[in-house]
């Protein structure tokens, strides 16, 4: 027959084990709840950009060299004037968070499902901050003014030959996270250019594909 000391020791050990299991379950549940709350917060800040709709109001867009353009909803702008390349596109933010635009990169050659986004070091940085509010419209604009820029001649040729212009636009939320690249196209039509979007890539979180 076991003595009282042995019984007490076993009881203490059993109680400690039960407490450890309960603590582990509690910590695991708290971590899961924290991750869920973090994902919910990020979802509430996440922007998603697409071309604006045809019924959206036009955007009046100006560049630092006093070049101006009025671009209707769902359209785009591409021009070569005074040895400068000008590009622009009205955008609509269909996500719940403010979109902050960071940069852009032209895309050349064949486009297919296997082709990824442009390398980050190839993006042109915007000369000013551009914002697109949630459930509202804004715009993207870009310019190439140096003939030595490797994108100058290819863009000039695309514009003059009236060929589709594809651009990767880099943006994120207003806290600097959730960076996303969306591939847009400016497609020629008789009165100008039509805008469309093809793919979205997530840089700071897993991609859905």
* Structure confidence at residue 205 as a pLDDT band (50, 70, 90): confident
> Model pTM?
0.80
Using DSSP's 3-state secondary structure scheme, residue 154 falls into helix
pLDDT attached to residue 34: 47
Specify the pairing of strand 75-81 against strand 165-172: unpaired
Phi, psi of 41 (to 5 degrees): -65, -45
Chain segment 33-44, per-residue pLDDT in tens: 545 545 555 556
Task: Assess contact for 192 and 206: CB atoms under 8 A.
Answer: no
Q: Which domains does the chain have, with CATH numbers?
A: 46-202 (2.60.40)
Q: pLDDT digits over 144-172, tens only?
A: 999 999 999 999 999 999 999 999 999 99
- Of the listed ranges 91-100, 184-193, 199-208, the least confidently predicted one is 199-208
Residue 66: pLDDT band (50, 70, 90) is very high
For residue 45, what pLDDT is reported? 80
Query: Which residues, in sequence order, are bridge partners of residue 186?
Result: 165, 195
Facing residues of 184 across strands?
167, 197
If you average pLDDT over each of 115-119, 176-180, 183-187, which comes out highest? 183-187
99-107 and 68-71: which strand pairing? unpaired
């Amino acid at each position: 027959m076991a003595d009282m000391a042995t019984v007490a020791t076993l009881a203490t050990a059993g109680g400690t084990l039960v407490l450890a299991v309960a603590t582990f379950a509690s910590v695991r549940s708290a971590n899961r709840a924290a991750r869920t709350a973090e994902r919910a917060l990020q979802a509430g800040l996440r922007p998603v950009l697409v071309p604006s709709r045809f019924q959206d109001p036009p955007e009046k867009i100006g560049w630092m060299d006093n070049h101006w353009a009025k671009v209707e909803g769902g359209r785009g702008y591409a021009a070569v004037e005074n040895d400068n390349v000008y590009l622009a596109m009205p955008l609509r933010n269909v996500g719940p968070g403010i979109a902050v635009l960071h940069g852009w990169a032209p895309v050349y050659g064949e486009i297919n499902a296997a082709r990824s986004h442009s390398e980050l070091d190839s993006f042109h940085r915007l000369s000013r901050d551009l914002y697109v509010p949630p459930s509202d419209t804004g715009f993207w604009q870009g310019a190439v003014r140096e003939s030595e820029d490797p994108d100058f001649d290819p863009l000039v040729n695309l514009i003059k030959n009236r060929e589709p212009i594809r651009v990767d636009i880099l943006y994120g939320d207003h806290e600097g996270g959730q960076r996303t690249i969306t591939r847009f196209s400016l497609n020629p039509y008789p009165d100008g250019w039509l805008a469309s979007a093809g793919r979205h890539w997530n840089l700071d979180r897993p991609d859905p594909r």
